[in-house]
């Protein structure tokens, strides 16, 4: 892992770990803010309608995935989980367009934009292959290697066929020349 990744991942994860732990320990204020958004979630999604429980689940996911990202364990997966947690957090907690007070509105807009920046950071972490080829590249490479191997095997089979034909002709000539003619 490069030095930049060793420093950047924990820095990016720190906000999620601290915010996630706080959400898990003290869900009431966030649950109050999230309640109107949660009420709009269709029951077909199968999510509980308890705002405090959803805030705790989101907080636990943030803290867990943030810790994994900071430690460099399953970084792409943990970054994907963080991306999935920051979206509802931002939409439920920082609806600046609904705030009437200009100062509070500006503060909520600032937090909204900060969360968008965090979302951008974790999305970059999702696609970061740590210098190793990604699955798409590996699949294309394996496909190309398979085609190359098949093509070479086909050429070798043609050469072997021609060589066998020549050997058969030579064997027939040798047998024919060894036979006495009357």
44-48, 103-107, 120-124, 159-163: least confident range? 44-48
157 vs 2, higher pLDDT: 157
**What dihedral do alpha carbons 99, 101, 102, 107 form, nearest 10°?**
-60
Instruction: Decide: 63 and 21 in contact? Cβ < 8 Å.
Output: yes
Q: What mean pLDDT value characterizes the chain? A: 89
Q: What's this model's pTM, rounded to 2 decimal places?
A: 0.69
Residue 27 pLDDT: 93
25-34, 67-76, 112-121, 173-182: least confident range? 173-182
Q: Please, which pLDDT band fits residue 175 given cuts at 50, 70 and 90?
A: confident
Task: Of 87, 82, 86, give the one whose Cα is nearest residue 70.
Answer: 82
* Cα separation, 28 vs 126, whole angstroms: 31
Residue 135 pLDDT: 75
Give the dihedral sign, CA 40/46/47/50.
positive
60 vs 1, higher pLDDT: 60
Mean pLDDT, to the nearest integer, of 90-100? 89
* Cα separation, 58 vs 104, whole angstroms: 24
- pLDDT over threshold 90, residue 109: yes
Task: Of 135, 126, 146, give the one whose Cα is nearest residue 74.
Answer: 126
135 vs 14, higher pLDDT: 14
- Where in the chain are the domains? 3-127, 133-182
């Amino acid at each position: 892992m490069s030095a930049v990744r060793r420093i950047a991942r924990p820095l990016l994860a720190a906000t999620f770990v601290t915010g996630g732990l706080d959400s898990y320990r003290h869900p009431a204020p966030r649950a109050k803010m999230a309640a109107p958004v949660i009420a709009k979630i269709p029951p077909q999604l199968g999510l509980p309608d308890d705002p405090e429980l959803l805030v705790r689940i989101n907080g636990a996911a943030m803290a867990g995935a943030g810790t994994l990202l900071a430690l460099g364990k399953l970084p792409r997966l943990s970054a994907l989980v963080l991306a999935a947690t920051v979206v509802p957090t931002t939409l439920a907690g920082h609806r600046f367009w609904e705030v009437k007070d200009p100062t509070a509105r500006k503060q909520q807009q600032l937090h909204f934009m900060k969360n968008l920046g965090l979302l951008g950071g974790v999305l970059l972490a999702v696609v970061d292959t740590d210098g190793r080829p990604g699955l798409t590249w590996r699949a294309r490479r394996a496909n190309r290697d398979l085609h190359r191997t098949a093509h070479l095997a086909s050429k070798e089979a043609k050469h072997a066929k021609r060589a066998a034909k020549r050997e058969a002709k030579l064997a027939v000539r040798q047998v024919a020349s060894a036979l006495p003619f009357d």
